[in-house]
Structure 1
Amino acid sequence: MKIQEMLQHFASFPVAPLETIAPGTTLVLSPHPDDESLGCGGFIATAARDGRPPVVVIVSDGSASHRGSAVWPPPRLARLRQAESRDAAAMLGLPSDRLFFLGLRDAAVPTEGEEFDAALCHLLEIVRRHDCRTVLVPWRYDPHCDHEAVWIMGQKLRSLLPRLRILAYPIWGLTLSPDMDIEETVPTGWRLDVRAVLDRKRQAVQAHRSQRGLVVEDDPEGFVLPDHLLEKMLRPYEIFIAS
Structure 2
Amino acid sequence: MKKLLRKIKNSRKIQAFILTIVLIICAGIFWYIKTSPVMPQLTIYFLNDVKLPGKGQKVLVFSPHPDDETIACGGYIIESVQRGAEVKIVLVTDGNKRSLKDLRYSEFETATSILGVPVNNLIFLNYPDGKLVQQSQTELEKVFQNQIDIHNPDIILYPHPSDTHKDHITISKIVEKILEQSPNKKIAYKYLVHHPLYPHPKKYAPDLYTLMPIRLISFDGGWERLMLSEETKNLKQKALKSYKSQLKNLLLKKLLESSIRENELFAVESLP
Report SS of the residue matched to 1:207: coil
Cα distance, 1:125 vs structure 2: 2.2
Matched position secondary structure for 2:252? coil
Q: 1:241 corresponds to which residue?
A: 267
Cα gap change, 1:123 to 1:35, in 2 (>3 Å): same
Measure, in 1, the Cα distance between the counterparts of 2:151 and 2:58: 7
Deviations 1:84-117 (A, max 9, x none): 1011111111021111111111111127x63x33
Partner of 2:194: 172
Q: List runs of 5+ in structure 2 lacking aligned partners.
A: 1-32, 202-210
Match runs of 1:189-204 below 5 Å: 189-195=223-229, 196-204=231-239
Structure number with greater Rg is: 2
What CA distance in whole angstroms lies between the structure 1 residues aligned with 2:262 and 2:214? 27
Residue number in structure 1 paired with 2:25: none
For 1:226, the equivalent position in structure 2 comes to 253
What is the identity, as a one-letter code, of the residue corresponding to 2:103? L
The aligned runs of 1:128-167 (5 Å cut-off) are 128-162=149-183, 163-167=185-189
Match of 2:147 among 123, 126, 129: 126
User: Relative CO higher for 1 or 2, CA cutoff 8 Å, sep ≥ 6?
Assistant: 1
Residue aligned with 2:236, SS: helix
Pick from 132, 137, 151 the counterpart of residue 109 of structure 1: 132
Report if aligned partners of 1:155, 1:166 keep a CA contact under 8 Å in 2: no
TM-score for both structures, normalised by structure 2:
0.70
1:189–1:241: 8 Å Cα contact kept in structure 2? yes
TM-score, structure 1 normalization = 0.78
Matches of 2:123 and 2:57 in 1, distance apart? 19
Q: Secondary structure at the match of 1:191?
A: strand
SS in 1 for 2:125: strand
Counterparts in 2 of 1:156 and 1:4: CA distance versus 1, 3 Å = farther
Aligned length: 219
